[in-house]
A and B are shown apart, each in its own frame.
Chain A
Amino acid sequence: MKSKKRDQWIAFWMVPAFFNVFGLVFVPLSWMMPPRSPNAPEPQMISFMQSHNLLIACALLTLVYGFAPVGNSIYLIQIKRMSVSPVFRYTLMVGSITGAIVGMLFPMFCFGLGAFRSGYRPSILLMLYDFGYLAFIGSLGCFCIMWMAFALAIILDQNNVLPKWLGYYTLWQYVTELMAAPVWISKSGPFAWNGLMTFWFAMALYVPWQIIVYVCIYRSIKNQPDDELESAWLHQTSPATDVRPKATA
């Protein structure tokens, strides 16, 4: 028998696929990550900004960045199952729209632009360099509010869709986003954008958290009883089956 949750599973498995390409783009392909130093010697920054691989990374990212919304929709459908108000999922929705532009597409284009045309003056390239890294690492608000909404929804939920400890853990994720704030101020040391605290410590907290969240969501989708699915009305045997439910989002 075919799974009734095919839509959820397809969407779910798109996410690890996306993260793999995402990692590939930022680390081995463009060497954007781990971040370069904010006060690297000028010729070094310039030759980095003009490397052709940045453009390839840019092209790949523009192709696959659409899967980030799919990843965020996975959170959204879980929040929808919770007993909480729609406020939380609408918040996460808007946060993820802005986040995808300011935290991903725009910085990537800043890096790509320098490499696209070779004639730019060093001062312009340096501005793009700063703009790219600061937007990428220093974009806080939209992600803070996303994780805050997610954490609060988990904690306040009475249907136990996701475990409560995950909610408190997610609150910590909010703190790591706050730790990225000093990148706007310091150019070297642990709080610069390539610093021990703002980048490495935040990454060390973020990566396991992201994996744990997906494991929890995997279990949540798997354990969702068939009669709670949104398509359940179709499989009921009562005479009212022919009435389509109202569209809800």
Chain B
Amino acid sequence: MVLFVVAYLLFPIFWPPLSPTLSPEEVAAFFRDNTTGILGVVILCNLIAGSLVPLFAVTAVQISRVTTSSSVFTYAYILCVGIGMTAFILADYCWGVAAFRPDRDPQLISLLNDMAWFFFIAPVGTVIVQCLCFALSVYLDEHSEPIFPRWVAHFNIVVAALLVPSAFTVLFKTGPLAWDGAVSFTLRLIVFAVYVVVTFLVLLRTVNRQGADRVALV
């Protein structure tokens, strides 16, 4: 998370995000002018993507402690994390490859850039399912002292709902749903950042309580 903030402060290259309406030549010019900055973001993003994994891993462990009849949601959650991370890193690679040789054919740079945005903004499907798995296992907890408080489930549902519109990014080049739009970009990033912070705090509490749960941790 610290890395996330650093990335934003040091390299405000992608702010405001590139408009999808730019022509290939304009995109290529952008990559030529900002090579260093983009490569910096690429390297940092790679690390960031990786450093979110432990947080989700802890979430998965806590979901598996919830009393339900099977681990189905734990598994689905882990799979979603794996897929989501890979998509994020692929987006990162596309930007990196584009910036690595900025004198490449502008059409190819533009293609890489499009692909990066596709992978960066559009694949919300797994994040949504991730939230739904989390929420469902909280709702279905049979234990009288549930692992997670109820509002965590409501919160996950809200996050999932707010992410849905981003899937339609690929249909628009302008307006709030385009990849630089208010809903797909700004709202999505804010929602995701809030989600990471809230999940972090919830886990902190849950893990602390687990310690007090005596034999459970044997």
**A contacts, CB < 8 Å to B:** 4-8, 10-11, 55-56, 58-67, 69-70, 72-74, 76-77, 80, 93-94, 96-98, 100-101, 105-106, 109, 112-113, 116-117, 119-121, 124, 229-231, 234, 243-244, 246-249
Say whether B156 faces chain A, with CB atoms less than 8 Å apart.
Answer: no
The one of B61, B72, B164 in contact with A11, judged by C-beta atoms closer than 8 angstroms, is B72
Say whether B123 faces chain A, with CB atoms less than 8 Å apart.
Answer: yes
A56 x B171 contact (CB < 8 A): yes
**B contacts, CB < 8 Å to A:** 23-24, 60-62, 64-65, 67-76, 78-80, 82-83, 86-87, 90, 107-108, 110-111, 114-115, 118-119, 122-130, 133, 136-137, 140, 142-143, 164, 167-171, 213, 215-218
**Distance (whole angstroms) from the CB of A92 to the closest CB of chain B:** 9
**Distance (whole angstroms) from the CB of A114 to the closest CB of chain B:** 9
Taking each of B62, B111, B143, which has the highest tally of chain A beta carbons within 10 Å of its own beta carbon?
Answer: B111
Given A116-B114, A248-B71, A249-B74, also A96-B79 (CB < 8 A):
yes
A93 x B69 contact (CB < 8 A): no
CB-based A-B contact count at 8 angstroms: 175
Q: How far is the CA of A168 from the CA of B183 in the complex (A)?
A: 49
- Collect the chain A residues with CB atoms within 8 Å of residue B83's CB: 66, 69, 97, 100-101, 105
**Distance (whole angstroms) from the CB of A112 to the closest CB of chain B:** 5
**Distance (whole angstroms) from the CB of B168 to the closest CB of chain A:** 5
**Distance (whole angstroms) from the CB of A222 to the closest CB of chain B:** 12
A–B complex contacts, Cβ < 8 Å, 16 sampled: A7-B72, A59-B168, A60-B167, A61-B125, A63-B124, A63-B164, A66-B130, A73-B72, A76-B71, A100-B79, A100-B83, A119-B107, A229-B70, A230-B68, A231-B69, A234-B143
A120 x B76 contact (CB < 8 A): no
The one of A5, A74, A94, A248 in contact with B64, judged by C-beta atoms closer than 8 angstroms, is A248
Give the residue name and chain of the A residue nearest to B128 (CB): A66
B72 x A93 contact (CB < 8 A): no
- Collect the chain B residues with CB atoms within 8 Å of residue A55's CB: 170-171
Mostly helix, strand, loop or mixed at chain B's interface? helix
**Distance (whole angstroms) from the CB of B115 to the closest CB of chain A:** 6
Q: How far is the CA of A101 from the CA of B151 in the complex (A)?
A: 32
- 6 cross-chain pairs, A with B, having the tightest CB-CB distances, nearest first: A66-B129, A69-B79, A66-B125, A97-B82, A73-B75, A63-B167
**Distance (whole angstroms) from the CB of A134 to the closest CB of chain B:** 16
B119 x A249 contact (CB < 8 A): no
- Collect the chain B residues with CB atoms within 8 Å of residue A230's CB: 67-71
Given A62-B124, A70-B76, also A249-B69 (CB < 8 A):
no
B76 x A113 contact (CB < 8 A): no
Q: How far is the CA of A100 from the CA of B90 in the complex (A)?
A: 13
The one of A67, A96, A231 in contact with B129, judged by C-beta atoms closer than 8 angstroms, is A67
**Distance (whole angstroms) from the CB of A103 to the closest CB of chain B:** 11
